[in-house]
Amino acid sequence: MSNQLLPSNSTSEWDIQPPPTLVQVAERDQAILRNVITLNSGASRTTVSSVIVQEETEVLLKENVAKHAMILRDHKRVVADLKEAIARQKEGLASMEAALAVLEAVQGN
């Protein structure tokens, strides 16, 4: 799995960031849940802090959607790579079995 290139907010250069882990995404999910609970805690009046919490939650949700997509893409890539490696191993094994059959035939077994 490769590092992800993401545009930096402060410059036009690209920053290299490692791909997200499931633990990081789960931790962010918990932060989102805490914010949603805070927003729906029964305090009926909208306050400045609730607007800030809502905006933060929206940002966290957008980031997590992107991170989930990266993890899913990486997972699919790993599955495809494993299938390809298994296919190559099967080809190699078939070649060895053919060579063994020839050697056994020559030996008379």
Q: How far is CA 22 from CA 57, 69, 73, in A?
A: 19, 12, 13
Higher-confidence residue of 59 and 82: namely: 82
- Residues 17-28 have a mean pLDDT of 81
- pLDDT band at residue 101 under the 50/70/90 scheme: very high
Number of domains in the chain: 1
Higher-confidence residue of 77 and 56: namely: 77
Residue at 78 is within a domain: yes
- What domain range is 35 assigned to? 19-107
28 and 62 in contact (C-beta within 8 Å)? no
Q: What ranges in the chain are assigned the alpha helix state H?
A: 22-39, 48-107
- Residues 104-108 have a mean pLDDT of 90
Residue at 34 is within a domain: yes
User: Cβ contacts of residue 68 below 8 Å, gap of 6+?
Assistant: 25
- Residues 63-75 have a mean pLDDT of 89
Residue at 14 is within a domain: no
Q: Does residue 75 carry a pLDDT above 70?
A: yes
Q: Does residue 1 carry a pLDDT above 70?
A: no
